[in-house]
């Protein structure tokens, strides 16, 4: 790494070619280009305002911004000022706002970069949840970027060294005690070097991403990586991708981007909405790598996506299945370049830690297909180990341990957790289980209480604490699992509740649990099921895997059928709409949430509406009433009746 930058700041300082740019795409016909030299100047201008607010080197700045350009400006202002960046998603639920308060209280000397609208929503949340005193401090430390009119005066540069903390990546889980992965400049530079070398990125490449910048794949993989290579990058908002997934491919075609990425659920989302007959001009022949990571990878989905896109020029070897995590900055392992999708079939019954996996030559009802994820990239070490930390033989299932200059030295203000997960030799337990097969990593499951939904991490105990706010659910009597839906190629949220009464009386609990998790965390719950006993180990730890195995074996099928029948008989009766706007809104909601009957007074957030479905509802409303309703207006007008009144007022001449 003789010629490679030692800090993030050095990398941007080296980029003096004004022809290399970031293109911020806000819609099909609206985009803005910012060169790397212009980014530096704007960041220094924003740094002046941050320093005027009182922040100085070593302080933390929560970046609570929805706009990609504002986010990146704030991120680089932090780097040049030696201020620790703390990215947090704006989100659409109370859980996201609660996380801001939790993180703010955890930090040493926090400030917050936000906007007037986002700050107002924090204020409303504080008033509704008794957090007014904390909010007053947040308000005093808040810099609202939409109030800044000029960036002419430049801030004071800090003398940055490689051991300084560049930013803290807090866990996606929005409740409870967020866990912050501390990443230094050396961590990041080490991982970026490995990524660039092992992917053979050069001047011929360009990156296109819709991933949120609060996610490590967004900020490190698809912003810092192309910046370090000094090549063009294109960024579109995540909510635009959700509303118009085909636009991601259309714009990638238009820009001739060579490097794309998505978690598993994103590829599924594209395929659901993709209409080949409407894409006669789509050209994906220039796409060299299509990264697939951030959640369990479905081999079937990889094959389906590649097959659907093959007529548009996508190479069969473009799909690049990788493994990584925030604790490694981003990447742990890559397959060989141009390697075809590589998988193996393993008997489900043999997926036991410490035992050799039974590999079979053909798929069957008793087997599962797992994807090979390559070997460790430059700068990263990895072993599969037993519970004592000793490496195991090939094909034996163990814990995935990692070590290297790219691996975090620990979690923020969490000495007990650090001692538990990082041993004396510096090996970090990722919490994932896996094996080595033909020299390549294969992930078989997770040992830690982590659930991945739509590429985001949620800690099961956090989600369980949300459920415990439901009347009748006692502490320790609820278990949340992420269970693989093979047909849809994604992890579903299944909630098990200790309950010994009649099933008819349990139905209301299912509604309340769905409502709590949707409002607090924005998550869609697949099933809420009663259990007679919570399975635990002799030491008292909940055995989530035992319930997941019972579910996958069909033990709850009869209960699911009975609850489905109850939902059909007890659903709120349809109420005829009184106005044309109300009728249109009802039709839209029914088209997206097809399995429920919806009334005018039903709360949109109580319909089990995931953030993805909410965005689809918004898209359809926007087609009927262009630019009248913002996604955030759902919070102010949460029922169809109220939203119809709002639209009527806005559209009345």
**What is the residue extent of each domain of the chain?**
1-15+30-186, 332-446, 450-570, 580-651
Helix axes 557-570, 503-521, angle to 10 degrees: 80
Whether the CB-CB separation of 70 and 99 falls below 8 Å is answered with no
Residue 94 has pLDDT above 90, yes or no: no
Of the two residues 94 and 111, the one the predictor is more confident about is 111
How many separate helices (H) and strands (E) can be counted in the chain? 22, 28
CA distances from 270 to 55, 274, 292, 585 (A): 42, 6, 14, 25
Candidates 643, 636, 652, 630; CA nearest to 66 is 630
Least confident of 309-313, 508-512, 567-571: 567-571
Identify each DSSP E strand in 163-279 by its residue range.
165-170, 180-184, 207-209, 233-235, 259-262
Its CATH class, for the domain covering 1-15+30-186, is alpha beta
Residue 149's pLDDT is 87
Residue 291's DSSP bridge partners are 261, 320
Least confident of 116-125, 187-196, 311-320, 574-583: 574-583
* CB contact set of 40 (below 8 Å; sequence gap of 6+): 12, 13, 15, 76, 80
Q: pLDDT tens for residues 20-65?
A: 999 999 999 999 999 999 999 999 999 999 999 999 999 999 999 9
Q: pLDDT tens for residues 70-89?
A: 999 999 999 999 999 999 99
Task: Report the pLDDT averaged over residues 211-231.
Answer: 95
Q: Which two tokens stand for residue 17?
A: 């070619």
Please give the Cα distance from 88 to 96 (Å, whole number): 8
Pick one of 3.20.20.220, 1.10.1200.10, 2.130.10.30, 3.90.700.10 as the CATH number of 580-651.
Answer: 1.10.1200.10
Confidence band, pLDDT 50/70/90 cuts, at residue 530:
very high
Candidates 578, 621, 574; CA nearest to 598 is 574
Residue 453's DSSP bridge partners are 456
Give me the chain's average pLDDT, please: 88
* CB contact set of 252 (below 8 Å; sequence gap of 6+): 208, 234, 260, 284, 287
Please give the Cα distance from 198 to 464 (Å, whole number): 40
Residue 413's pLDDT is 93
Please give the Cα distance from 387 to 621 (Å, whole number): 53
For strands 233-235 and 259-262, give the pairing. unpaired
Q: Is 487 helix (H, G, I), strand (E, B) or coil?
A: coil
Q: pLDDT tens for residues 557-611?
A: 999 988 888 776 654 433 444 577 888 888 888 777 765 667 777 777 666 556 6
Confidence band, pLDDT 50/70/90 cuts, at residue 488:
low
Please give the Cα distance from 345 to 370 (Å, whole number): 6
Q: pLDDT tens for residues 134-159?
A: 999 999 999 999 999 889 999 999 99
Q: Which two tokens stand for residue 368?
A: 């599962």
Residue 571's pLDDT is 47
Whether the CB-CB separation of 411 and 372 falls below 8 Å is answered with no
Q: Is 539 helix (H, G, I), strand (E, B) or coil?
A: coil
Candidates 63, 458, 29; CA nearest to 240 is 29
Confidence band, pLDDT 50/70/90 cuts, at residue 497:
very high
Least confident of 208-212, 265-269, 446-450: 446-450
| Long-range pairs, 581-585, Cβ under 8 A, ≥24 | 581/644, 581/647, 581/648, 582/640, 582/641, 582/644, 584/624, 585/621, 585/640, 585/643, 585/644, 585/647
Calculate the CA dihedral of residues 94, 95, 98, 100 and round it to 10 degrees.
-110
Can you spell out the DSSP letters for 415-472? HHHHHHHB-TT--EEEEEEEEEETTEEEEEEESSSEEEETTEEEEHHHHHHHHTTSTT
The CATH code of the domain at 332-446 is 2.30.38.10
The CATH code of the domain at 450-570 is 3.30.300.30
Candidates 217, 159, 154; CA nearest to 7 is 159
User: At 367, which helix (H) or strand (E)?
Assistant: strand 367-371
Whether the CB-CB separation of 384 and 396 falls below 8 Å is answered with yes
Cα torsion angle, 410, 414, 420, 421, sign: negative
Residue 380's DSSP bridge partners are 404
Candidates 521, 485, 494; CA nearest to 610 is 521
Q: pLDDT tens for residues 408-437?
A: 999 999 999 899 999 999 999 998 889 999
């Amino acid at each position: 790494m003789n010629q490679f930058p030692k800090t993030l700041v050095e990398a941007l300082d080296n980029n003096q070619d004004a022809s290399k740019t970031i293109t911020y795409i806000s819609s099909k016909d609206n985009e803005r280009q910012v060169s790397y030299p212009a980014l530096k100047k704007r960041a220094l201008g924003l740094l002046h305002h941050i320093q005027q607010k009182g922040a100085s080197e070593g302080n933390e700045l929560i970046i609570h911004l929805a706009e990609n350009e504002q986010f990146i400006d704030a991120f680089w202002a932090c780097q040049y000022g030696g201020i620790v960046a703390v990215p947090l998603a704006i989100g659409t639920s109370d859980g996201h706002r609660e996380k801001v308060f939790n993180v703010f209280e955890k930090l040493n000397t926090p400030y917050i970069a936000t906007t007037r609208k986002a700050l107002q929503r924090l204020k409303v949340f504080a008033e509704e949840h008794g957090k007014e005193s904390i909010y007053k401090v947040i308000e005093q430390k808040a810099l609202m970027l939409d109030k800044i009119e000029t960036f002419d005066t430049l801030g004071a540069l800090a003398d940055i060294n490689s051991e300084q903390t560049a930013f803290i990546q807090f866990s996606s889980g929005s409740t409870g005690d967020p866990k912050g992965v501390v990443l230094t400049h050396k961590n990041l530079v080490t991982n970026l070097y490995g990524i660039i070398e092992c992917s053979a990125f050069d001047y011929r490449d360009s990156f296109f991403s819709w991933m949120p910048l609060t996610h490590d794949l967004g900020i490190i993989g698809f912003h810092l990586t192309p910046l370090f290579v000094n090549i063009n990058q294109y960024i579109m908002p995540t909510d635009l991708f959700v509303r118009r997934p085909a636009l991601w491919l259309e714009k990638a075609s238009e820009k001739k981007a060579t490097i794309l990425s998505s978690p598993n659920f994103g590829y599924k989302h594209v395929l659901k909405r993709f209409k080949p007959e409407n894409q006669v001009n789509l050209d994906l022949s220039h796409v060299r790598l299509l990264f697939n990571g951030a959640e369990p990878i479905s081999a079937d989905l990889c094959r389906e996506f590649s097959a659907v896109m093959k007529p548009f020029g996508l190479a069969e070897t473009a799909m690049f299945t990788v493994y990584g995590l925030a604790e490694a900055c981003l990447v742990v392992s890559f397959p060989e370049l141009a390697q075809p999708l590589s998988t193996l079939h393993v008997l489900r019954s043999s997926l036991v830690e410490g035992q050799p996996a039974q590999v079979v030559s053909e798929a069957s009802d008793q087997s599962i297909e797992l994807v090979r994820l390559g070997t460790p990239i430059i700068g990263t070490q990895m072993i599969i180990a037993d519970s004592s930390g000793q490496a195991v033989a090939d094909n034996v299932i163990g814990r995935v341990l990692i070590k290297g200059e790219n691996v975090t030295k620990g979690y923020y203000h969490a000495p007990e957790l650090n001692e538990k997960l990082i041993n004396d030799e510096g090996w970090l337990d990722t919490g994932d289980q896996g094996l080595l097969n033909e020299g390549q990593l294969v992930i078989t499951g997770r040992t830690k209480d982590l659930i991945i939904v739509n590429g985001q991490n949620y800690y099961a105990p956090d989600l369980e604490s949300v459920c415990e706010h439901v009347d009748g659910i006692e502490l320790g009597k609820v278990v949340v699992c992420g269970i693989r839906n093979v047909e849809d190629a994604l992890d579903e949220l299944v909630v098990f509740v200790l309950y010994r009464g009649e099933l008819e009386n349990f139905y209301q609990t299912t509604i309340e649990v769905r409502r709590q998790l949707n409002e607090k965390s924005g998550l869609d719950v697949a099933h809420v099921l009663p259990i007679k006993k919570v399975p635990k180990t002799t030491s008292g730890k909940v055995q989530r895997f035992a319930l997941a195995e019972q579910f996958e074996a069909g033990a709850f099928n009869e209960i699911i059928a009975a609850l489905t029948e109850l939902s059909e008989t007890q659903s709120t009766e349809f109420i005829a709409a009184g106005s044309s706007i109300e009728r249109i809104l009802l039709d839209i909601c029914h088209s997206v949430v097809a399995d429920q009957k919806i009334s005018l007074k039903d709360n949109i957030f109580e319909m089990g509406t995931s953030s993805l479905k909410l965005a689809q509802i918004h898209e359809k409303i926007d087609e009927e009433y262009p630019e009248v309703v913002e996604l955030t207006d759902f919070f102010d007008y949460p029922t169809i009746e109220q939203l119809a009144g709002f639209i009527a007022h806005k559209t009345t001449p």
